[in-house]
Amino acid sequence: MKHSRYIFVLIMLVVSGSMIAQPRLRRPEIYIGGHVGVMASSMLFKPTIQAIDIAQSPLSLNGGLMFRYAGHKVCAIQVEANYMQRGWREVGEGYDYRRQLEYIEVPLLMHLYFGRKHFRGFLNLGPQIGYCFRDTDYGIKDTSQSHQYIPIQHPFDWGLAGGLGIYYRTNKIGLFQLEARFNYSFGSIFDNQKTDHFEFANPINLSINFAYLWEIKVK
């Protein structure tokens, strides 16, 4: 975790460098649209707590707006503004607790695509920033520990997003896309100095999203 800032900067440099290195298109491809999906979310704590892992976590909703600009062959830049429900769940003898953290997040993604004109596969990768605007909890807490039940201390978030997917590009009615995406936060939601309980408390989530994008024709 101590090198996360360097990883973040490196990803930004790779994204910008990859864009510059590709040959330009004669006519850029510009898309605007939106996406909706479901996601599984959990947290990485150290020291650990009795949180269920991401594969067993309850599903929540996410969605947002998208802008994509492809001025180079096989490579585009994609900016999003997303709503996401993160958090974790603890289940044990005598307790069942769920924490829901609602975020607005803005990823800046390198979009690498391959395939034919109409049917393509793609890879998205890049940094993201976000802000937690609502912190809600439900259920019965584990009385043997309490450090994770305090309000979050760091609502601002930064991390990395990556996804794989496919899309079908029509001639007249836009583009239909399906993507699986993983998000990892480098920022801890709780204080993590040497005198604090947690060394880190970082959100992670996995989502499946369906998107529709409309192409803006450029002469």
pLDDT in tens, 37-88: 999 999 999 888 888 888 788 889 899 999 999 877 788 899 999 999 999 9
pLDDT in tens, 19-35: 555 556 667 889 999 99
Q: Is the pLDDT of residue 15 over 80?
A: no
What whole-number percentage of the chain has pLDDT above 90? 51
Question: Is 89:97 a contact under the CB 8 Å cutoff?
Answer: yes
Which is nearest to 175 in space by CA: 100, 73, 98, 68? 68
Higher-pLDDT residue of 194 and 211 is 211
CATH of the domain at 34: 2.40.160.20
Beta bridge partners of 111: 76, 124
Which is nearest to 86 in space by CA: 51, 61, 114, 119? 61
What whole-number percentage of the chain has pLDDT above 70? 88
Higher-pLDDT residue of 10 and 91 is 91
Q: Is the pLDDT of residue 17 over 70?
A: no
Could you say which DSSP state residue 146 is in?
-
Q: Distance of CA 148 to CAs 17, 59, 76, 145, 159, Å?
A: 40, 21, 40, 8, 21
| Total domains present in the chain | 1
Beta bridge partners of 201: 45
Question: Is 166:120 a contact under the CB 8 Å cutoff?
Answer: yes
Question: Domain range for residue 203?
Answer: 4-216
Looking at residue 40, its pLDDT comes to 93
Beta bridge partners of 30: 69, 216
Q: Distance of CA 54 to CAs 40, 86, 87, 193, 206, Å?
A: 6, 11, 10, 26, 8
Looking at residue 22, its pLDDT comes to 56
Looking at residue 217, its pLDDT comes to 80
